[in-house]
Chain A
Amino acid sequence: MSIRLFGYQDKILLLQHGSTELLALAQRRGAQLHKLLSGTSIFEQDLHKPHGRLHHNDWLKLLQNCQQQLNSPELPYLLGNALLNNHYISLCQSLQYAQNLHQALAQLYYFRHQLFPCFYARLSQQQHCIIIEFKPALGLASQQAFMLTAVISLLLGLVKQQLGTVAGISLQLQQAASHQLQHQLHWGVDVSFNRSLDCISIPLALWQQVFTDANTLKFNAARRTCRQLNHVLSKQRALPESICRLQHRALPQLLNQDQVAAELGLSSSSLKRQLNQHNTNFATLLDEVRRDAARQLLQQGHYSNRQLALKLGYSDEHNFRRAFKRWTGLIPSSFKGMFNFN
């Protein structure tokens, strides 16, 4: 595999792609820079270097410091918008010059290691909308909600700017409804809480609608800059994400730890050790992949439990039913009724 893997200690985040914006926002709200940076390995003078970097441990600490210093619930929403409109991030510039949402999102997804390496997405289609499911590529601990809010704010901000409306878009979130009011005020879309996944559903009609600022020349120029940045910041993926992808692709076969390690070019013991750093293990990830696949299959069509068990690599129907009950607390047939966007 040519793509490199990163962990919490790998400096793969650019300071200019998020941290400086976050710090500026927090400072204007009265937080002190040295307190925001305390506990991280970032120095004040690094903040102005064009290619200064930080790793995920620092980023998570930074987010935590911000929330400790300030009681400002608008921070993740503003961060998303600030990133979108930042003139120094060519990726975000390119999004605005794209032809349509399809091109913009494809671009964002291809270069996501430059902006949000901590998430990956899975697409599926349902009736008249496309559903983008957000999965954390590595453990984000208590900051997952913050980061997700920032990503969604960026997406909704882009749609609002370029298409003028967010009508028809809806969200499902895993978190409890505590931020309902803030979401409502900042996003203006339907949000349902306590769901089994984090996803955004965008109507097909918006998907191909031409952006107001669409400009092929500028888009290509910005994309070239993104490509150049790739030389400095090569494409990297987090280990849990890579494992989930491999497993997902292999279904209904199940790969064992040695096979996956070989596929990723790691030794079995180092795979285990690295997963330990991500606070997860091989069996948990496999279980997660099967859970997501089961949900996706149920959502797509009418499979019997036997077919589902076969597709997910369970030895028999009974085992599948038991696993499903463990994931959702429901039996598969009653879950089908629940999973409905409308």
Chain B
Amino acid sequence: MWRQHRYKMLFSLLLLLSGLLLAIDIGSAKHSNEFDWLDILGEGTTLLVACGWLGLIISSRPAGRITEWLYYGSLLLVYSYFLDLLDEFIRYPEHIRLMSWLESLPAPVGMLVLTYGLIGWHREQRAINRQLRGRELFLRDHQLIDPLTQLYGIEYLQAVLQREIELHQSQHKALGLLVLDIDNFAEFNRQYGIANGDAYLGQLSELLSNQLRHSDVVCRYAGDRFIALLPNTALAQTNIMAQHLRQQLSQLSVESSRPQLTLVEMAVQQDNAQSALHAADQAMALAKKTATHKLQPI
């Protein structure tokens, strides 16, 4: 992220440097017995924290409109605090008011700019949350995200499934489950290389999270198996979803080099996550044996 903001950082440094030069030009140094160390400590800490904010913004945000607002707001704050700290060491002549203006004016302006930026950030976060829906349900823990597909992994699935089962049972609602398995993925990997296998998993997970509803959550259950949780969905509706997904997936496997997929749907009737997942595994094993649910490339 740092590289995107090179000019911004250069500009900030120049701005602070010009403040310093201006202060030295106008004022004269104080004697060391005139220093108020408590003030210096307080103002120095404020400056350091504001600099820390700048650093965090630069290192965590991509370039963009909101980043600019956040950055320049904090920069004005830093500038103001910097001059504030300087006047502990430098005395200005009484008749020149410029330095005290420069010291006090940027801070409130900076605060306003920063606030505007934060509002923008809030909106942006809402948009991102909308985009994330379908990938997560009620829990957020970035440690559980599978780095390849950006879907949540099995621990997340177990936690969410357990909670949903309890909720749905107490409210007497139906909970649906879709299980998607790539047939003979090891062979695909062997033939086309693991790099292609990884790329395929990426495509597949993208398609899954796009094609399901916002309330559904897709997880990567195992290397080659995905499970989607459909809250508040009866079996009939789950069937329709599965049918829809099969159509979409068969478009993905148009190229002959794509592996075949098996998709099974089920209604969760078990009362804990473990037995539900076990049932899902068994349903998948049965489907593979009977091979009625196979998705044939068109």
- A-to-B contact residues, CB < 8 Å: 21, 24-25, 28-31, 70-74, 77-78, 81-82, 85, 157, 160-161, 181, 185-186
Contacts and interface: CB of A to CB of B under 8 A. Distances in A.
Interface of B: 143-148, 153-154, 186-187, 189-190, 193-195, 198, 221-223, 225
Contact of B144 (A71, A85, A181, A185): A71
Contacts of B153: 73
B223 A186 contact: yes
B189 A85 contact: yes
Contacts of B193: 85
A29 B223 contact: no
B147 A81 contact: no
A74 B194 contact: no
Contacts of B223: 74, 77-78, 185-186
B222 A71 contact: no
Contacts of A82: 194
A70 B222 contact: no
Given A25-B194, A71-B147, A186-B223, 5 more contacts: A21-B194, A24-B195, A29-B147, A71-B145, A185-B222
12 contacts: A21-B194, A70-B147, A74-B223, A77-B223, A81-B190, A85-B193, A85-B194, A157-B186, A160-B186, A161-B190, A181-B154, A185-B223
A72 B150 CA distance: 11
Contacts of B194: 21, 24-25, 78, 81-82, 85
B186 A72 contact: no
A30 B154 contact: no
Contacts of A73: 153
Nearest to A157: B186
Contacts of A157: 186
A85 B8 CA distance: 48
A223 B285 CA distance: 39
Contacts of B147: 29-31, 70-72
B222 A28 contact: no
A28 B148 contact: yes
Nearest to B187: A161
B149 to A, nearest CB: 9
A149 to B, nearest CB: 13
A29 B148 CA distance: 4
Contacts of B154: 181
Given A24-B195, A77-B223, A186-B223, A85 B190 contact: yes
A239 to B, nearest CB: 35
Which one of B144, B145, B147, B198 has the highest number of Cβ atoms from chain A below 10 Å of its Cβ?
Answer: B147
Nearest to B190: A85
In order of increasing CB-CB distance, the 4 nearest A-B pairs are A29-B147, A185-B222, A85-B190, A30-B147
A72 B146 contact: yes
Nearest to A21: B194
Contacts of A28: 148, 195, 198
Max chain A C-beta neighbours (<10 A), residue from B144, B154, B194: B194
A24 B143 CA distance: 21
A260 to B, nearest CB: 43
A21 B197 CA distance: 14
Nearest to B142: A71
A81 B153 CA distance: 21
A26 B221 CA distance: 19
Contacts of B143: 71
A73 B222 CA distance: 10
B206 to A, nearest CB: 15
A71 B186 CA distance: 22
Contacts of B221: 185
B222 A72 contact: no
A325 to B, nearest CB: 38
A187 to B, nearest CB: 11
Nearest to B154: A181
Nearest to B146: A72
A127 to B, nearest CB: 29
Contacts of A70: 147
A72 B144 CA distance: 9
A47 to B, nearest CB: 15
A25 B193 CA distance: 11
B148 A72 contact: yes
A85 B223 CA distance: 17
Contacts of B225: 185
Nearest to A29: B147
A31 B147 CA distance: 9
A186 B186 CA distance: 10
Nearest to A160: B186
Contacts of B145: 71
A120 B158 CA distance: 38
B222 A186 contact: yes
A84 B266 CA distance: 36
A194 B284 CA distance: 30
